[in-house]
Structure 1
Amino acid sequence: MKHIKLTLRAYLVTGILIWLPLAVTLWVLDMIVGTLDQTLLLLPDAWRPYSLFGFDIPGLGVVLSVLVLLGTGMVAANVLGQRLFDYWDALMSRIPVVKSIYSSVKQVSDTLFSDTGQSFKKPLLVQFPHQGLWTVAFQTGSLPDSVNQSLADLGDEYIGVYVPTIPNPTSGYFVMVAKKETRELGMTVDEALKYAISMGMVAPGAPQPAGKKRQAPGANPTSTL
């Protein structure tokens, strides 16, 4: 009886391991598509799919969002469009409260997505939150001269790094550490980010043995026919 319970438990765990990644992937995609579908609410009632065809079209909001982004980029690529967006930036910069949020987000997005932006330079290992504990971090842009002058009396070269929180890497800590107290990782930024988000369970560059197959629960690896 005990052997049967262990076998059933092994089958259950195997089933979870197979279906969980797929279920989470579908859930995330459904959430993204559902969120973007809300952009259809910006259309007049007469233009919405339900009014035109009598039923909703899932995913149409994704297409609409992509078209809006492409159209915005095409307009901003010419001189007239650039002037319009400069006027828009100037207008947003005059609105109290809104200007502080808008300008901060714009600066971050311009830095991250611009081809000439500094974004994340490279992944590092730093001691955080105190000496003796190491975590994955990412070197950001150069420190401003005012900060470098304030740290000059310490005698070391300091760099700015971003330490992401796990499992949500969009929040984290910006700290300034001595460059000599960091260790470079032999990974790309994407590999290091994936390694951190997975809490160390997805190691980049780990080779899979050739021909290795998923073993059925309860099977004896040493048994032969």
Structure 2
Amino acid sequence: MNDSPERISLATRIRNNFLTGLIICAPLAITIWLTFSFIRWADSWVKPYIPARYNPENYLDVAMPGLGMVIAITLITLIGFLGKNLIGRSIVSFGESVLHRMPLVRTIYKSLKQIFETVLKEQSTSFKKCGLIEFPSPGSWALVFISGDAQGEIAARLNEHGEEMVCVFLAPTPVPTAGFLMFVPRSKIVMLDMTPEEGAKLLISGGLLAPDYRPKAGPTMISSNVSPLQGT
């Protein structure tokens, strides 16, 4: 009977040590696995197109993981450099004119190009802010990523009701790769100070990884005179 507390205490210490080790090792192992998986995926796409005479693996007789990814990054950078001069722009324009003659391909290409131009543009403010909206019912709040102001016909139709609308993306937990595109009135959004990266961590962890925050006077609502992309 006297040994029972000691056995329980020892088992508890072993369990705590195991959990501590798991917390240290699991993220590291998953990060390494994802990194090498991405490298292998890039190599599987690029290496088959490398001529045998130019493939250093054939001369060194040693596998070189990451070679395909390095070549892909180099080629993309080179294409970007060439696309900035007159000859490169002419080639790109000719290629786009060919694609624009293909009905299905034209639609896909235009949509993807607009998305990449919007997201990767240096001065782009898309998805730079997080906010809260009442969803799915009053009193329940959901985290959203601010995409931008509503534009085009949607903005014209919704603004007829007297309030400007904001385009937000509502992502699910724990895999925020799909979700809902929503148009919400400015006054219904509570802006947050957390970055999109911190918001993504909060979603993926199911609320476990909440970012540090120093409380202020109170939550900030988006006023009708301030763009949601300008922060609080």
Global fold match (TM > 0.5): yes
Structure 1 residue 24: deviation in Å?
A: 0.9
1:31 maps onto 2:40 in alignment:
no
After superposition, residues 155-170 of structure 1 pair within 5 angstroms as 155-170=162-177
Corresponding letter in the other structure for 2:202: Y
Task: Extract unaligned runs of 5+ from structure 2.
Answer: 1-6, 215-232
After superposition, residues 1-225 of structure 1 pair within 5 angstroms as 1-38=7-44, 39-205=46-212
Instruction: Say if 1:37 and 1:108 are closer, same or farther in 2 by CA, change over 3 A.
Output: same
Distance 2:99 2:122 in 1: 24
Corresponding letter in the other structure for 2:88: G
What secondary structure is seen at the aligned counterpart in 2 of 1:155? coil
Of the structure 1 ranges 151-160 and 7-16, higher mean CA displacement relative to structure 2 is found in 151-160
Q: Is the 2:176–2:204 contact (alpha carbons within 8 Å) kept by the matching residues of 1?
A: yes
Distance 2:138 2:189 in 1: 12
Structure 1 residue 128: deviation in Å?
A: 2.3
- TM-score after normalising by structure 2: 0.79
What secondary structure is seen at the aligned counterpart in 1 of 2:148? coil
Of the structure 1 ranges 81-90 and 115-124, higher mean CA displacement relative to structure 2 is found in 115-124
Instruction: Say if 1:70 and 1:152 are closer, same or farther in 2 by CA, change over 3 A.
Output: closer
Please name the residue that 1:212 is paired with. none
Structure 1 residue 90: deviation in Å?
A: 2.1
Distance 1:170 1:75 in 2: 33
Instruction: Say if 1:27 and 1:56 are closer, same or farther in 2 by CA, change over 3 A.
Output: same
Distance 1:148 1:97 in 2: 27
Distance 2:116 2:136 in 1: 27
Structure 1 residue 73: deviation in Å?
A: 1.0
Task: Extract unaligned runs of 5+ from structure 1.
Answer: 208-225
Distance 1:3 1:191 in 2: 37
Structure 1 residue 186: deviation in Å?
A: 1.9
Corresponding letter in the other structure for 1:20: A
Aligned residues: 207
Please name the residue that 2:224 is paired with. none
Distance 2:156 2:103 in 1: 33
Task: Give the RMSD, CA atoms, in angstroms.
Answer: 2.2
Instruction: Say if 1:194 and 1:90 are closer, same or farther in 2 by CA, change over 3 A.
Output: farther
Instruction: Say if 1:84 and 1:118 are closer, same or farther in 2 by CA, change over 3 A.
Output: farther
**1:192-217 per-position Cα deviation (integer Å, ceiling 9, x unaligned):** 3333333332233359xxxxxxxxxx
What secondary structure is seen at the aligned counterpart in 2 of 1:126? strand
Instruction: Say if 1:145 and 1:59 are closer, same or farther in 2 by CA, change over 3 A.
Output: closer
Structure 1 residue 64: deviation in Å?
A: 0.9
Q: Is the 2:149–2:165 contact (alpha carbons within 8 Å) kept by the matching residues of 1?
A: no
Distance 2:163 2:213 in 1: 36
